[in-house]
Amino acid sequence: MELTDIIFYIFALVTIGSAMIVVFSRNLVYSAFSLMFTFLGVAGLYVLLLADFLAVTQLMIYVGGILVLMIFGVMLTHRVVNVEISSGAMRVIPATIVVGVFLGTLLLVLTRTKWMVMEGSPDVIGTTSMIGTALVTDYLLPFEVSGVVLLVAIVAAAFMARKR
């Protein structure tokens, strides 16, 4: 059992464990904080997959941006009177059906497929320059369009969240 395998199992456990807490916890703040651990776990997995740029971007955008936004949302929308921030009951039957059918099919199909994997292990090179070059050559149009998407999002969020 190599060291990288052990690290993989640790990060996988962190990710899945905290994801379970996010979904099944009764307390909204606990869910928000374990979401942070999910994001950290995924960032660690990116490093294992030699995607250094994305690992750092994951930390900056997801933990530093989206998670902070979620916590603001939780804090701004709970009733001030309640001390315990509860998030309601759950329905078990749809959950079991989804787990059974959907996950079962996916696992069966994904593990049996012979993917076109390349031989040997990839070189440990930085991906930042490759991604950067791709963004301004092959992917120039999506890059510009995502600029428009972000502008729309900023104006939309500001518009919706303002006081009357």
Query: To the nearest whole angstrom, how small is the minimum distance from the Cβ of residue 24 to other proteins?
Result: 8
Question: Using the rule CB under 8 A, is 145 a contact of other proteins?
Answer: yes
Question: Using the rule CB under 8 A, is 6 a contact of other proteins?
Answer: no
Question: Using the rule CB under 8 A, is 116 a contact of other proteins?
Answer: yes
Query: To the nearest whole angstrom, how small is the minimum distance from the Cβ of residue 84 to other proteins?
Result: 14
Residues 6+ apart with CB under 8 A from 45: 8, 11, 12, 15
Per CB under 8 A, contacts with other proteins among 46-75 are 46, 49-51, 53-54, 57-58, 61-62, 65-66, 69-70, 72-74
Q: 64-99: buried (b, 16+ CB within 10 Å) or exposed (e) per residue?
A: eeebeeebeeeeeebeeeeeebeeeeeeeeeeeeee
In angstroms, rounded to a whole number, what is the distance separating the alpha carbons of residues 69 and 77?
12
Question: Using the rule CB under 8 A, is 140 a contact of other proteins?
Answer: yes
Query: To the nearest whole angstrom, how small is the minimum distance from the Cβ of residue 83 to other proteins?
Result: 17
Q: Which of 3, 22, 63, 126 binds other proteins (CB under 8 A)?
A: 22
In angstroms, rounded to a whole number, what is the distance separating the alpha carbons of residues 77 and 28?
11
Tokens of 17: 């464990």
Query: To the nearest whole angstrom, how small is the minimum distance from the Cβ of residue 128 to other proteins?
Result: 10
Question: Using the rule CB under 8 A, is 89 a contact of other proteins?
Answer: yes
DSSP state, residue 42: H
DSSP state, residue 99: I
Residues 6+ apart with CB under 8 A from 83: none
Q: Which of 4, 82, 83, 84 binds other proteins (CB under 8 A)?
A: 4
Question: Using the rule CB under 8 A, is 107 a contact of other proteins?
Answer: yes
Q: Which of 3, 83, 84, 122 binds other proteins (CB under 8 A)?
A: 122
